[in-house]
Structure 1
Amino acid sequence: MQCEEWLSKSEKILTDVKEWRKAHPKATFVEIEDEVHRRMMQLEAQLLQDAAQESSSRAWGKDMGEEAPRCSRCQVPLQARGQHARTVQGNGGESVTLLRTYGTCPHCGESFFPPR
């Protein structure tokens, strides 16, 4: 995500919180805090996704010149099976979608996203 996109997303969150506050003039401090936290988790999820996608280890295989990770069971190098999307849930409860190389063990046949 480019800097301008981050600024735009941050401004939208600030605007949304202000609008929420106008719609909830009698909200308690804890309710306001919960709403701010909920919206900030969206920004956190985007930051996590962007940072993870910048990782050089997200793609591996002979075409990428990166050494293949090994199967945790057999310790045999995995065979790359292309890029696949994987959605995980962050600590804040927001979903984060990552594009990662999926691998299969040629020995035991187990397939998974290596935890790099």
Structure 2
Amino acid sequence: MSAGHYRVLVVEDHADSRELLAEFLEALGYEVDVAGNGLEALERLRCTPLPTAMLLDLMMPVMSGWELMKHVRADPALRSLPVVVVSGAGPSQSLPEGILGAVPKPVDLNVLRGLLDAATRR
């Protein structure tokens, strides 16, 4: 896959994790934008061209991933955005509605790559 024309929004509150995910995606050829919480991500989604996919942490300050997904699924312009959860929330936590897939932390980069490949084929 040539990912060069695909853009991913990484929504993660931990700077080190955000940076590592961005570096991994850039190495695969994706364009990457980042947000440190759900509110920042929502502002980016509403003010910039829609990314190909969004990687979403669930437990964040300001606005959680669950809250962000309520806004995304309620907005017709954002509703079709493929979302992959990347979270340490654990298997006992239910996922927000409309998630393409989930990768637990620590992240298995091969699983993540497979989910992003699926998102770009939609």
Structure of greater relative contact order (alpha carbons < 8 Å, 6+ residues apart):
2
Task: Using structure 2 for the length normalisation, give the TM-score.
Answer: 0.26
Relative to its length, the structure with more helix (as a share) is 1
Q: TM-score, normalised by structure 1?
A: 0.27
Q: Which has the larger radius of gyration?
A: 1
